[in-house]
Amino acid sequence: MDDAKKKKCKVRFGPSGLEVEVERGTVLLDAAHKVGLYLSSVCGGDGYCGKCKVIIDDGQFQAKPTGLLTADELRDNMVLACQTKVLSDLTVTVPSGHTLETGRILIDSDAHRFREMKGDPNAKGGVGDPNGEGHGAAFAFDPLVRKVYVEMTPPSVQDHTADHERLYMAIRAQIEAPIMQTGYRILQKLSGILLSARYRATATVGHRGGTTEVIEVDAGDHSRRNFAVAVDLGTTTVVAHLVDLTTGRTLDTEATYNSQLNFGDDYVRRIIYAEENDAFDEMQNRIVKDLNNLILALALRQRVHLQEITTVVCAGNTVMIHFLLNLDTRRIRREPYVASAGFVPPIRAAEIGVQISTRGLLYCLPAVAAYVGSDIVGGVLATGMFAQPGISLLADIGTNGEIVLGNRDWLVCASSSAGPAFEGSGVRHGMRAGAGAIEKFTYRGPGCFEYQTIGDRPPAGICGSGLLDLLAELYGGGVVDRTGRFLEDHDPGLMYGQDGWQYQLVPSDNGRREIALTQADIDNLLRSKAGVFAAIRVLMDATQTRREDLEAVYLAGGFGNFLNVQHAVTIGMLPDVPIEKIHFVGNTSMAGAKMTLLSREALQRAEEIAASMTYFDLMSHHGYMEEFIRARFLPHTDLTLFPSVQDKKKVEV
Amino acid sequence: MDDAKKKKCKVRFGPSGLEVEVERGTVLLDAAHKVGLYLSSVCGGDGYCGKCKVIIDDGQFQAKPTGLLTADELRDNMVLACQTKVLSDLTVTVPSGHTLETGRILIDSDAHRFREMKGDPNAKGGVGDPNGEGHGAAFAFDPLVRKVYVEMTPPSVQDHTADHERLYMAIRAQIEAPIMQTGYRILQKLSGILLSARYRATATVGHRGGTTEVIEVDAGDHSRRNFAVAVDLGTTTVVAHLVDLTTGRTLDTEATYNSQLNFGDDYVRRIIYAEENDAFDEMQNRIVKDLNNLILALALRQRVHLQEITTVVCAGNTVMIHFLLNLDTRRIRREPYVASAGFVPPIRAAEIGVQISTRGLLYCLPAVAAYVGSDIVGGVLATGMFAQPGISLLADIGTNGEIVLGNRDWLVCASSSAGPAFEGSGVRHGMRAGAGAIEKFTYRGPGCFEYQTIGDRPPAGICGSGLLDLLAELYGGGVVDRTGRFLEDHDPGLMYGQDGWQYQLVPSDNGRREIALTQADIDNLLRSKAGVFAAIRVLMDATQTRREDLEAVYLAGGFGNFLNVQHAVTIGMLPDVPIEKIHFVGNTSMAGAKMTLLSREALQRAEEIAASMTYFDLMSHHGYMEEFIRARFLPHTDLTLFPSVQDKKKVEV
């Protein structure tokens, strides 16, 4: 091997200041990943999405030619990180908005509530609020894994009960556990611990299926130190909450990019990558490492020992759960689109390398199908729609758009694969809800508008809620017509750029790059919203649900904090129901995971939900494509479906 | 180290011809063990039981002085193997009767029967016989571990069910399994197997508590190759039966000495040894090795792959089960005599090194207490006494004498620790039921008697049934009085030997050593039978059971094949009930283990039996000692308890 190739180069990434040493010839995207910097990469490093732009401030590099950079960008020494090799020490600037500050990743509030469990000493006023914050169900406080402190009378001539049975009796005096199990290693050490502790010990018991397993026994009372981590395993981000299982309180939250991002922004691309490169182990290793990093960060900050974390509950789309467990994902992307497991039994976290208590348990919420994952089941659980007499609609807009419709008697669901435009993908200046993202936009009239960025930072792009605002306000203001075309002479903000007509929000200036919404962006957004609405129509038609039957519409996803839900109606993404019926519910996947780790009943309910939900495969549904085409208008070809939008337009006109 | 000490010496044991090479200075008992020769050793090699006698034919040795050898024996170059060191190549003869031919270890017939399971394709006329052979219960044929061949419709656009749930549905179509579990490793490989096998696979499912675990999945149909091993884990011998789980038939049996014998004949001594030498791991290793040797022998002979053996079910006394699992035995020998676990949950056999199918399960029948083990629960199960309206009595005479009394409404039990005299221990020429053992004895009158040996071999000692005969016949013939004293002038067979008066069965002759019953032997036998009868009395008194209430009396244990059960009444060991009510039932521990592996229902019943049985601790029972003293007479101080014996004596007199 050539010695020159083996030369080490130092790469410094600004503004974070992160540094990494790599071999000469390393691809810059890989160098960034190595230091924990996750650059957006839709195409998985193939060089055609143009998302991984960085500026080379200093040093030698070799960049492949690309048509994805403007002349201005090339003059600024901007490159695509995935197409650039490191040839010497480098100083690189990552434009703001191209990485995400994890603190901005949408996390759910502790909106869910639990009934006070009768006679439970740990439950402190966790009274249920069935109508609170849009969540229609309350569950008994009864964590999946509990620490039960038991003081047993030691054996005597009058009472020969064996240690193992004595422990069971003591546990059963405190919790309901008709069927119990104990692993061999615990059985073997049990007597030694009980003897040394004078029969005062803490049993850690976990619920597995219909049984209660004694997963650990320790001398003395450790019942106040029992923690769990709830995980929302997203395609783009992984969010973790540390929960105190004795109080039910969330202590801290942490989030990171899914480090599989280097292999593609969407999961189908990652499956292809894993298949082509035999990289399923690598996929698992990465997501497990992400999880461990989150858990470690939470534990260190809250001074919790990893051994005190007894539970991990994961919710996520079916592919992410499969990657986590290294289950077969190959048929998820091929007809007939089948998962390896929808109902994943609890496993020992250590079996996949997740570092919590040695014998701690890892649970996954159940999934409905390959494209309706446990994150959606978590959403149904968290919204409480499964328990309501009236019909509710849940739309979770992320990489895909999953729709659930139903009530306490029935639930139907579907997944719209119309693309993640509202997550910023396929939109030229789209980005996720990170610092500098334009999250709010108001149109005041020709040449006059206002916007707001996350963190009041200089604008870096447009996130989901901003895109929704733009589309709705520009349509309302007459800047785009019902087909989504710019009416070119209507507003001075409209100008002809490299990609044709665009609406300019931020002009290019010294040190500031242009931000605009292009015609192609609008087409992508319309496809996304049309996919969502067509799915809703298919489900409503199939169940003969009328618009006026909808008691509540829940919009979930990572849009940002200032979501104008009315705009989701205006553009024809959600059905036209009174505004007070529409609720933005944020990260319901996380909310569902947290409800579950705090309540055995919630897990049972989640399993019932997943088992009873009817899945509609839209790809093989005869009416879907027609609905999709009709929904690509603003708001729709059939205006009678959107009377309020019509009225508004009339008033304005 | 001295080179001379390291010198290797070859030891040859006749008549077996087994040879072993050991270091100079090795104790002869250890050399014998090394080659798989289990010499009787009650004291665990301490030199005071005098059971490990061997004859040195040739070679140099160093023997410690002992008073346990007669002048004749010393002249014959007889030594105690535990007190003798090997100094050169040696040729040794092991007297017959001092090792046991494993083929003679008592094994149970397939006396138990199973109800034909409705719709079960494997059940072939296994019709229950509720009254057959003294067993009052029949169980559904429903093995603890089953192989279920499933042909599933592959997934399609119309049916997206995930592989894991598809498998569960297919299994549930064939067997009752409301709560199912799958381990991570199976989950991970499941899809690959189903795909390659076109959804035709064999699921191995095992019952654990209330759940059904998928322990293995294989491509294709292997449902006809499912085997189990039932084990009677005795203090002295380990017996294993290979059972075909598709038919319920026993294919083969094998037995060996418990290789812990070197550490003492009784288990209390072994616990002491293990405590003093930190040898609990060694105890486990030995018994596991014994088990593996038995399983391997059975598998080789029957051409069964170890991977096809999915189940092991063990019954045994509590200490043996604890040694097998390396659970804490120390408190079993100390007040308050507590076991570590009575109800041992099923474990993976591989966890303790038992070599069957990688994920195969090992079950232990539940125990009642430290001194009433799962062997006794197996006995209650096998006799069916737990299901009868009438009251039955079970006496299992082995190293201890365990007694169970009861019916379908209640069960009480106790353990008499009066010593294993009927197993030949504590009796000068006592031996277990091996080749050459005098197993039958008839007294014809002064100077006239007959005996029969096992295998018609030259007499080597007296086994349990022979001792029972001797005591009963000599008492009936007036050679011993009611206190067990020899009436010295009554019979010419009575003579004064080195241990006082004795009844000579075989005179010492050229090449033949004397066999006799001594006064001390009779005292030991009386103590044993008194212990058993006193325990029976305590249980009958406590439950207000009268002799005439007893519908059946079951005598279990390794007495031999020609047990005269009437003699057990004559000497006052069993209550005086009509002879047709007394049944010799052999190895009920094995019978119980086999019923269990063939029927989930049997295991449930065993657990109910163990949980409901009331244990009487005789050591702390106020009336036991008095009963014991009264029972040391022949048949008893209170002759009204034994009217038939009285009548017989009267007729004879």
Each residue's pLDDT tens digit, B456-486: 888 989 988 999 999 999 999 999 999 999 9
* Lookup: tokens for B343: 């109800």
Q: Which residues pair with B334 in a beta bridge?
A: none
* Lookup: tokens for A603: 């897990």
Of B597, B527, B465, which is closest to residue B106 (Cα–Cα)? B465
**pLDDT value of position B418:** 66
* Lookup: tokens for A412: 């139907």
**pLDDT value of position B125:** 30
pLDDT at A370 over 80: yes
Sign of torsion over alpha carbons B64, B67, B73, B74: positive
Residues in contact with B24: Cβ distance below 8 Å, sequence separation at least 6, in sequence order:
B4, B5, B6, B7, B8, B9, B86, B87, B88
The predicted model scores a pTM of: 0.81
Size of interface A-B (CB pairs under 8 A): 158
**pLDDT value of position B142:** 93
| CA A288 from centroid of its chain's CA atoms | 16
Question: Is there a contact between A347 and B615 if contact means CB atoms under 8 Å apart?
Answer: no
Q: How far apart (Å, rounded) are the C-alpha atoms in residues A56 and B83?
A: 87
Question: Is there a contact between A165 and B341 if contact means CB atoms under 8 Å apart?
Answer: yes
Query: In 3-state terms, what secondary structure has residue B292?
Result: helix
Q: Which segments of B95-233 are extended strands (E)?
A: 114-115, 139-140, 145-151, 180-182, 200-208, 211-219, 227-233
Average pLDDT, integer, range A401-430: 89
Measured in degrees and rounded to the nearest 5, phi and psi for residue B201 equal: -145, 165
Q: How far apart (Å, rounded) are the C-alpha atoms in residues A70 and A290?
A: 35
Question: Is there a contact between B341 and A190 if contact means CB atoms under 8 Å apart?
Answer: yes
Of B191, B340, B344, the CB nearest to A191: B340
Q: Which of A187, A343, A617, A624 to mutate to test the interface with B (most CBs of B within 10 A)?
A: A187
Of B34, B20, B23, which is closest to residue B91 (Cα–Cα)? B20
pLDDT band of residue A64 (cuts 50, 70, 90) is: confident
Strand arrangement of the beta sheet that strand B500-506 belongs to: B494-497, B500-506, B515-518
User: Distance of CA A131 to CAs A137, A245, A385, B569, Å?
Assistant: 8, 24, 11, 77
Q: Which of A152, A153, A164 to mutate to test the interface with B (most CBs of B within 10 A)?
A: A164
Q: Which of A159, A179, A184 to mutate to test the interface with B (most CBs of B within 10 A)?
A: A184
* Lookup: tokens for A607: 């399993």
Question: Is there a contact between A336 and B159 if contact means CB atoms under 8 Å apart?
Answer: yes
Rg (CA), chain B: 27
Q: What is the DSSP letter of A87?
A: -
User: Distance of CA A380 to CAs A235, A249, A394, A613, B161, Å?
Assistant: 20, 22, 7, 10, 20
Q: Please name the residue of chain B whose CA is at the shortest distance from the CA of residue A165.
A: B341
Model pLDDT for residues A279-321, shown as the tens digit of each residue: 999 999 999 999 999 999 999 999 999 999 999 999 999 999 9
Question: Is there a contact between B155 and A331 if contact means CB atoms under 8 Å apart?
Answer: yes
Burial of B13 (0-12, 13-18, 19+ CB in 10 A): buried
- Residue predicted with more confidence, B647 or A43: B647
Of B347, B363, B354, B261, which is closest to residue B306 (Cα–Cα)? B354
Of B159, B161, B192, the CB nearest to A328: B192
Q: What is the DSSP letter of B458?
A: P
Q: How far apart (Å, rounded) are the C-alpha atoms in residues B433 and B583?
A: 19
Of B195, B211, B369, the CB nearest to A160: B369
Question: Is there a contact between B184 and A336 if contact means CB atoms under 8 Å apart?
Answer: no
User: Distance of CA B75 to CAs A510, A632, B57, B91, Å?
Assistant: 117, 112, 12, 17
Model pLDDT for residues A567-591, shown as the tens digit of each residue: 999 999 999 999 999 998 888 999 9
Residues in contact with A188: Cβ distance below 8 Å, sequence separation at least 6, in sequence order:
B325, B326, B327
Average pLDDT, integer, range A539-551: 97
Sign of torsion over alpha carbons A272, A278, A283, A284: positive
Q: How far apart (Å, rounded) are the C-alpha atoms in residues A61 and B321?
A: 70
Question: What residue has token string 């405590």?
Answer: B275
Model pLDDT for residues A127-183, shown as the tens digit of each residue: 233 333 333 457 889 999 999 999 999 999 888 899 999 999 999 999 999 999 999
Q: Determine the distance in angstroms separating the CA of B198 from the nearest CA of chain A, rounded to an integer.
A: 14
User: What's the complex ipTM?
Assistant: 0.81
Measured in degrees and rounded to the nearest 5, phi and psi for residue B137 equal: -135, 150
CA angle at A430 for the pair A424 and A434, rounded to the nearest 5°: 80
Q: In B, which residues are within 8 Å of A333 by CB distance?
A: none
pLDDT band of residue A114 (cuts 50, 70, 90) is: very low
Q: What is the DSSP letter of A287?
A: H
Q: Beta strand pairing status for B139-140 and B114-115?
A: parallel
**pLDDT value of position B16:** 72
Q: Please name the residue of chain B whose CA is at the shortest distance from the CA of residue A318.
A: B162
Q: How far apart (Å, rounded) are the C-alpha atoms in residues A648 and A643?
A: 9
**pLDDT value of position A96:** 58
Q: Which residues pair with A228 in a beta bridge?
A: A243, A311
Q: Which residues of chain B have pLDDT under 50?
A: 1-2, 98-136, 653
Q: In A, which residues are within 8 Å of B335 by CB distance?
A: 157
pLDDT band of residue A49 (cuts 50, 70, 90) is: low
Q: In B, which residues are within 8 Å of A620 by CB distance?
A: 157
pLDDT at A107 over 50: no
What percent of chain A is modeled with pLDDT above 90?
Answer: 65
**pLDDT value of position A493:** 87
**pLDDT value of position B5:** 52
Question: Is there a contact between B184 and A351 if contact means CB atoms under 8 Å apart?
Answer: yes
Question: Is there a contact between B161 and A370 if contact means CB atoms under 8 Å apart?
Answer: no
Q: Determine the distance in angstroms separating the CA of B202 from the nearest CA of chain A, rounded to an integer.
A: 17
Q: Beta strand pairing status for B582-586 and B550-557?
A: parallel
Element containing residue B534 per DSSP (H, E): helix B519-542
Q: A68-72, A599-603, B68-72: which has the highest mean pLDDT?
A: A599-603
Q: What share of chain B is helix, strand, coil (3-state, %, to 5)?
A: 35, 30, 40
**pLDDT value of position B532:** 95
How many beta carbons lie within 10 A of that of residue A352, not counting itself? 19
The DSSP line for A579-591 is GGGEEEEE-HHHH
Q: How far apart (Å, rounded) are the C-alpha atoms in residues B27 and B92?
A: 13
Q: Is B182 left (phi over 0), alpha (psi -120 to 50) or beta?
A: beta
Of A435, A392, A404, which is closest to residue A561 (Cα–Cα)? A435
Model pLDDT for residues A481-521, shown as the tens digit of each residue: 999 999 988 788 899 988 889 999 999 887 778 899 999 99
Q: In A, which residues are within 8 Å of B184 by CB distance?
A: 325, 347-348, 351-352
Q: Please name the residue of chain A whose CA is at the shortest distance from the CA of residue B186.
A: A327
Question: Is there a contact between B184 and A615 if contact means CB atoms under 8 Å apart?
Answer: no
Q: How far apart (Å, rounded) are the C-alpha atoms in residues B51 and B371?
A: 25
Of B179, B617, B620, the CB nearest to A209: B179
Average pLDDT, integer, range A19-23: 89
Q: How far apart (Å, rounded) are the C-alpha atoms in residues B102 and B239?
A: 9
Query: In 3-state terms, what secondary structure has residue A452?
Result: strand
Domains of chain A: 4-95 (3.10.20.30), 114-219 (3.10.20.880), 227-364 (3.30.420.480), 421-524 (no CATH)
Question: Over chain A, what is the mean pLDDT?
Answer: 87
Of A570, A572, A552, which is closest to residue A628 (Cα–Cα)? A572
Rg (CA), chain A: 27
Q: How far apart (Å, rounded) are the C-alpha atoms in residues A456 and A441?
A: 13
Q: How far apart (Å, rounded) are the C-alpha atoms in residues B452 and B462?
A: 10
Q: How far apart (Å, rounded) are the C-alpha atoms in residues B82 and B72?
A: 20
Residues in contact with B214: Cβ distance below 8 Å, sequence separation at least 6, in sequence order:
B167, B171, B180, B181, B182, B183, B186, B203, B204, B205
Which of the residue ranges A71-75, A174-178, A206-210, B129-133 would you say has the lowest mean pLDDT?
A: B129-133
Question: Is there a contact between A188 and B338 if contact means CB atoms under 8 Å apart?
Answer: no
